[in-house]
Structures are given as structure tokens and as C-alpha cells.
Amino acid sequence: MRKKKKKLNKVRLIFAIVVLIGLILIVKGIMGFVLSNKEPKDISLLLDNELVKVKNEIIKEKDTIYLSKDDIENLFDSSIYYNAAEKELITTFNKHIALLKIDERFMVVNDSNAELSNPMIEKNGKVYLPFSEMGIVYDLEFEYSESTKKLIADSTNKAKSQALTLKKYNMKNNPSIFSSTVEKVEHGEYVSIVEDTNKKYFKVRTAKGNIGYIKKKRLSEPEKLRDDWNEEKQEYAVIKEASDISKKYSEAKLESEKQNVVIPMFFNVEKGGEILDKTGSGSAEYTAYTEWAKEHNVQIWASLENNIDVSKLLMTYTDRNKVINELYKKLVEHQFSGVNINFKKIDDVNSFNRFIIELTPRLKELGIKVAVTKNEYIDSAKLEKVVHLVIE
């Protein structure tokens, strides 16, 4: 009798423990769901499925989300430049350069105007950019969830897939039915696939910007919207002995493991920003040189040199843009694969750096490479992060 009673008490104890654990899990799930769905006070930025810490408040005015210049500098453009006197800002990213001015409802992107619903502003002594309208500059696509106050930004050069929910589901914060609920997802909603690292679950993101786990069997077959795109890194071999079209370039030894490059001195920047063309295009000598390069898969990167001070050429954005446009036209005209900036006279290093920073995205857009010849004036550590090659 005692044994039966003892066994019964043990069963009751186990049952009580199971009930208690179940109640704890239910309360935990309810609390997690309540907390995750509590309306936030501040706007947050979800960048490529990661919540980003920002230095300054994210502002929403009308339908535009603003990010401070300091946060843009930290996240996207370490070389961002603001001219307080002119109230204009220059920002570069990948293949884009943009010019914005305080209170003007347009920006100049790669020398073409783009309308803005709301302009760049100053607030509390800080400059704020209309970030949600600048996807074309930073290669981003945006969504905004009013209920969670999240600006969702996805890089357009990263892979993206989505799936459709096949029935209502409580999205979990971990790949387990016992974990807390992040969001109740309705039937027929699209979710973005974040990761496929679990046999039974997908890590997903909802339209509200919440990230959690949903069982694979509750979702349709994922649909791929785009693949990853990364520019392939290339090693270059500069064949200096073949960079003079008047010498015996055809006898130069080419490398088989690298992209061979020659850099003839073809351009000179003159007073006023005009580019002097020294190619001699149309001559038999020039034709023979370009045909040799094509036959041997040798890229021609025209060298640009100067004979006047940088401060007289590149002091302002307008000055630099004039030279960039002139050079752009020459490179396209001759179909050169790249350009090497080989300035001997650099009296203003900051203006020179800005020239390289602003030139590179314009040429990247065309697939044209940019190199810089190193000298005592050049900040190699800074520029090697921008250009394709720094030449010793």
C-alpha cells in the first residue's frame, strides 16, 4: 500500500512539474510576444537584417526617413564631405557620387539630376540626409513599418529570397516550438528568407522587420529574387617597358597569372581643366600599339599628368567635376580600360584626394579602372581603399 501511495505521489509530482514548466513556457511566450509587439518610441534601422546602432536620432518627416551625416559616414561613406559655407554635401558609394544642398529638392547623381520629395536639412546643429530616398546612391531598397517603426534596408547586391506562408503561424525567436512568439504571421504573407541553417526551420523576416523562425513546411518553396553580386578582385601586372608606344613594346615579357596592363602617357590636364590628348590617335604608330594590346589581351590604362598646381585645378567640386567630365569623355572615346593619375605637382593634398574619391565611382560605373602613381605627397593608405591600384 505504501509503495502504491509513494508511486502515486511521484506521478503527481512529475505531473505538477510538467504543468509548471508548461505554464512558465506559456507565460514566457506571452511576455515575449507582448514585448516584441510593444510600440517603440524611436525609429530603428534594420540594415541587411541587422539592427544598426546609430549615433544620432533617426528622423521621420512626412514620408522621408532622415539619417545624420555622422551615421552615413559611419555606415556607408567614410569620405563624406560637407562644405558648411556652401551648405553642400558630397557623398560617394561604389559606382555613385551624389551632391546635395540644404533645402534643395534634388540631388545630382553621377552628373544627372534626381528629384527629392524632401531635401537635406539641418536640425539641432546637425546635417540630416533624406536617407530613404537615396537608395540609388547607396545601392539599397527600402521598406518602412509604421507599427514597429523600422526602416528596413536591403543591399541590392546581396542575394534575396522570399516565401509565402501557407497558414497562420506563431513565428518563434528560436527554432523550437517551446520558444517565445515574436509575431503572429497571417496566412498568405510574404516573408524574406534570412538563413537556411536548420533542417526544420527557416530564419525569416516579416514585413514588420521582425526576425524569427518558421517551420519550413508552413512556407511555400522559396523564390529567389536575386543572387549575390560581388566585383571580382583582379591582380594586375604593370608592364612598364611596354608603356611607351615608340619603343619595342612587342618584346616585353608578359605575365600569365595576372591581367597585363600598360600605362602610356596619353593625357595632360591643362589650365582651365581641359585635357590635352597626346595619343596621336589615327597614326600608324598608335594603331599598331592598340592592335598589339588587343591581340595579347593587354589593357591600356592612359596616364593623366599635370603641369600646374592642383589648387588651381581642383579646389572646388565644380572644378573637379569639370576635369572628371573631360577625362570621362576621352576615356570613352578611346575605349581605354583604365586611367592612371600620375600628378607630379600636388600642392593641395585634400583637393587631390577629393578628386580621386569623386572620379573613381564615375569611372566604375563604366567598368573603367582607376590607378594612382605613388609619390611623397599621396596618402596611399587612404587612396588604396578607393582605387583599384596604387603604383609604386
* pLDDT at res. 137: 98
State residue 378's pLDDT score: 84
What pLDDT was estimated at residue 219? 96
Domain ranges of the chain: 44-141, 159-226, 236-391
Q: What is the pLDDT of residue 18?
A: 57
pLDDT of amino acid 277: 96
**What is the model's pLDDT at position 78?**
95
**What's the pLDDT at 379?**
83
Contact 21, 14 (CB under 8 A): no
Q: Which amino acid is at 73?
A: E
Q: Which CA distances in Å does 279 have to 131, 239, 267, 271, 285? A: 43, 18, 7, 19, 10
d(CA 341, CA 306) in angstroms, rounded, equals 9
Alpha-carbon radius of gyration of the chain: 29
Q: What was the pLDDT predicted at 189?
A: 96
Q: For strands 169-172 and 275-277, give the pairing.
A: unpaired
8 A C-beta contact, residue 181 and residue 172: yes
pLDDT along the chain (392 residues), means of 10: 58 59 53 54 95 96 96 97 96 97 97 96 96 97 96 97 96 92 96 92 97 96 93 90 91 94 96 92 94 96 93 93 96 97 92 96 96 88 91 88
Residue 35: its pLDDT value, please? 46
Question: How much is the pLDDT for 202?
Answer: 96
Which stretch of DSSP H or E encloses residue 12?
Answer: helix 2-36
Q: Give me 112's grid cell.
A: 544627372
The architecture in CATH of the region 159-226 reads: Roll (2.30)
pTM, 2 dp: 0.85
**What is the domain class of 236-391 according to CATH?**
alpha beta
Report the chain's terminal Cα–Cα distance, integer Å. Answer: 95
Q: Which helix (H) or strand (E) holds 259?
A: strand 259-262
> CATH number of the domain at 44-141, out of 3.10.450.50, 3.30.457.10, 3.40.109.10, 3.40.640.10?
3.30.457.10
3-state secondary structure at position 138 = helix
> Which backbone phi and psi does 115 adopt, to 5 degrees?
-70, 150
Output DSSP code: residue 9: H
